[in-house]
Every structure is written in structure tokens, then in C-alpha cells.
Copies of this chain bind each other. A is one copy, B any other.
């Protein structure tokens, strides 16, 4: 009798494991096939159930669909990310709503006073970034759940993008995301991953 391998110990079936993690890759080229609003809505409808602190859900997703909006983004993107950002079928700016606490009486109704616990802007911005980043993790999984490839990019001027696209002062850009179907040579060999023994410790 052989011991079960790691994939067998999961309740999630192997095809889904592959779709979301094992076979999924960060794409750097895309085909021309568009990403529709219906697909984006289906992704959000799935991942909005992921947990956030105070159920605050601070992630906001700005889709840059017009050529003008794409052109406004490109100067803030690092040179190594510019070509793929210019050619991806869809680019999104992922941001945190620092004033997410305004909705808490509705989103966290059993403790309406949570809004007041978050009256300090600096502490609230930290909470907003943390929960929105968790939600970006769910979103990257959701993009793959839709059969699409995600191209997250941290190489950009976040202060500049925040100023350019969120002049209201209540949002902070966290990450750029290309979405589409992978094109030719969309990725190189997979980079090494740390083993469980290097990452998981026990006391």
C-alpha cells in the first residue's frame, strides 16, 4: 500500500488544483481574445465571499477599458512591464478604499461601533491595505477559476497611479493586473518554490 500523496489529501479535485495552482502560471503575453464584463462580474461574484477583517471588503477594481485610460497608466509602469501592459486585453488597477469603514454599519451590523474604532486614518489605511491584499489573493485565484491567466505586476509607481486615477484621496493603488488568455511564450520555466519544511515550523 502506498501512502497518499499531497494532492490526494485535499478535498478539492485534482483538476481544480491544477487550474488554480499547480498548472496555473503568471502570463506575460496574451492573445487578442477579450475579457468581458460578464467574466469580470462572475469572478467578483465568486471571490467576494472570501473573509476580510470586519467584513470590510476594501478592495476596489478599476478596469482600464478605453485606450485613453491605458495611455494614462503606461508612464507609471516600469519599463520591463510596459510592453505587456500595453498589449494585454484588459488591465486593472487594484486599490484599497481607505474609507471602507463608512460602510461597516451595513456590512458588520452586529457591531456598528466598529466604524468608530477605525477613526484614525493611518491605522485604517493599514487595515485597508491588509484586507484588500488578502482579497487580491482571492482575486488571482478567481481569475484562474474563470479559465483566464492573470499577470500581477508590482513594478509600477504606486503613488503616481494613485494620484492619476484616484484624485479623491480615499483610495490607494496596490497592484496592477493584466488579464487574458495566455499568448505565445507566455511564461518561462517555473521558478523554484520553498518546501514545507522551510516555511512551516512547529512549536
Contact across chains for B203 and A66 when beta carbons are under 8 A apart: yes
User: Interface size (A, Cβ < 8 Å)?
Assistant: 82
CB proximity of A24 to chain B, nearest CB, Å: 7
Please, what's the 1-or-0 string for A129-141, where 1 marks a CB less than 8 Å from any CB in chain B?
1100111111011
A193: chain B residues within 8 A (beta carbon)? 48-49, 57
Contact across chains for B21 and A47 when beta carbons are under 8 A apart: yes
A203: chain B residues within 8 A (beta carbon)? 62-66, 68-69, 165
Task: Check A42/B147 contact, CB under 8 A, given A130-B133, A137-B137.
Answer: no
> Which A35-75 residues have C-beta < 8 A from chain B?
37-51, 53, 55, 57, 59-66, 68-69
> Which A152-203 residues have C-beta < 8 A from chain B?
152, 154, 165, 174, 188, 190-194, 196, 199-203
Contact across chains for A146 and B21 when beta carbons are under 8 A apart: no
What is the copy number of this chain in the assembly?
2
A200 to B59, CA, bound (A): 9
Contact across chains for B199 and A60 when beta carbons are under 8 A apart: yes
A57: chain B residues within 8 A (beta carbon)? 193-194, 199
A10 is an interface residue with CB less than 8 A from chain B = yes
Contact across chains for B44 and A196 when beta carbons are under 8 A apart: yes
A19 is an interface residue with CB less than 8 A from chain B = yes
Instruction: Add 14 more A-B contacts to A21-B49, A107-B194 (CB < 8 A).
Output: A11-B147, A12-B46, A17-B46, A21-B47, A44-B196, A48-B196, A48-B199, A63-B200, A65-B202, A66-B203, A130-B174, A134-B134, A134-B136, A141-B141
Show 23 residue pairs from A and B whose CB-CB distance is below 8 angstroms, ordered by the A residue: A9-B42, A10-B146, A11-B146, A12-B20, A12-B146, A13-B13, A16-B145, A44-B199, A44-B200, A49-B190, A51-B140, A53-B154, A57-B194, A62-B202, A62-B203, A63-B201, A63-B203, A64-B203, A106-B192, A108-B191, A110-B188, A130-B154, A134-B137
